[in-house]
Amino acid sequence: MNDMQFSSPVSVDDAVTLLAADTDANILAGGTDLMVQLQSGMRTSRHIVDIKRIAELNQVNQAADGSWTLGAAVCSAELNENAALKAQWPGVLEAADLIGSMQVQGRATMAGNLCNASPAADSVPALVAANATVTIAGPNGRRTAPVNGIATAPGKTALEKGELIISVNLPAKPARSGEAYLRFIPRTEMDIAVVGAGVFITLDEAGICTAARASLGAVAPTVLLFDEADGILVGAKPDEQALEKAAAVLMSACRPIDDKRGTAEYRTDIAGVLFKRTAKIAIERAIA
Amino acid sequence: MQGAVAQGIGWALNEEYIYGEDGRLQNAGFLDYRMPVASDLPMIEPVIVEVPNPYHPFGVKGVAEAGMVASLATIANAVADATGRRMTALPISPPRMLKALKENRGVEA
């Protein structure tokens, strides 16, 4: 490794200034991807900007309207210790809880998971299904953008030079809504998703689906999102037949690769199965 | 002895070398060369049968990797019992198993 500068700014503005000033600066949050990439020679960096000292990025807050702001430097283990958050968004937290191992979860952040832009990132499909947004700070001020769209290709994001994600935001959750995330791996842990599926569903009092968002990870270069426009679930009781129909829509959109983690055909089949299982958990949570 | 069974279970279900079209090994690391992790395995209780081996001058028997052979066959038999399909190639990985079930391939158990 060559000479490297290391900065630990304590304000968002300082972080933006540092990131904007160096064309070869990298953001360090948990470092569970960055450090591995540096050590293995996959990536070089002249300047590491650690964002963990910024107080604003270490906070988890719920607003009066019920929405949540999760600081970008909060690790997944800490998020999972927040009982109120876990009760409201169990699927998102279960997804964050699947990243790496217990030790890794003590470091890894959802914002980092998103910015690493791996097609197989665990927390991203869950956030996309939950209609989460991110708040981004940059040289031109702050902006908010949907999580879906931040990763534009494997390893690439829509963030501009000098920009960093400062929080992941979960919207207020409508009544009778449930969400879930499941992933398939050939082992029980310490593995990378062969397929991941997130589902968010809202039911009315008669049990008819009034809103639905389904997402798939690891079956395309970026997360695939399906909603009412794709003709899934909305307007009907989400019974076996409706789930089967929606699964067919999802499977027909899959364009996975054949690789060491699974064949394209296998990933597509599993996407349908996993979606149905995930949807059933989301439906149970919406009713409960 | 327990290690041999663990190794056999890994070989039976997931461990394999995956080569790319360029002939290079694609999974030269423990993330993708899928050895079982602790939570993948059942409790393994070795039972030591202390009968001398009549085919050896000192009566000894192999330990360590000798135990792998039986665990491979045990898993293959369990899969055949559960699915009705006798799988004839290792590992019996999830993609291979699903393909066999879908195509109704393999020898009926």
Interface of A with B (CB under 8 A): 184, 186-192, 194, 259-263, 265-266, 269-270
Q: What pLDDT does A136 receive? A: 98
Q: Which residue in chain B has the smallest CA separation from A273?
A: B98
Count of A-B CB contacts under 8 Å: 43
Contact assessment for residue A262 and residue A180, using Cβ atoms and an 8 Å cutoff: no
What's the pLDDT band for B109 if we cut at 50, 70, 90? low
Residuewise pLDDT in 10s, chain A (288 residues): 468 999 999 999 999 999 999 989 999 999 999 999 999 999 999 999 999 999 999 999 999 999 999 999 999 999 999 999 999 999 999 999 999 889 999 999 999 999 999 999 999 999 999 999 999 999 999 999 999 999 999 999 999 999 999 999 999 999 999 999 999 999 888 888 999 999 999 999 999 999 999 999 999 999 999 999 999 999 999 999 999 999 999 999 999 988 888 889 999 999 999 999 999 999 999 998
Q: What pLDDT does A274 receive? A: 97
Q: Which residues contact A69 (CB under 8 A, 6 or more apart)?
A: A59, A60, A61, A62, A63, A135, A167, A168, A169
Integer CA distances (angstroms), B77 to A165, B3, B46, B71, B98, in order:
52, 20, 20, 10, 17
Contact assessment for residue A28 and residue A49, using Cβ atoms and an 8 Å cutoff: yes
For B34, the closest of A187, A259, A265 (CB atoms) is A187
CA dist A17 and A54 (Å) reads 14
Residue B108 has pLDDT above 80, yes or no: no
Contact assessment for residue A218 and residue A181, using Cβ atoms and an 8 Å cutoff: no
What's the pTM? 0.92
| Interface contact flag, B34 A188, Cβ < 8 Å | no
pLDDT tens for residues B55-101?
999 999 888 888 898 899 999 999 999 998 899 999 999 999 999 99
Q: What pLDDT does A190 receive? A: 86
Contact assessment for residue B26 and residue B20, using Cβ atoms and an 8 Å cutoff: yes
For B95, the closest of A187, A192, A262 (CB atoms) is A262
| Residues in chain B within 8 Å Cβ distance of A265 | 95, 99
| Interface contact flag, B40 A188, Cβ < 8 Å | yes
CA dist A255 and B83 (Å) reads 29
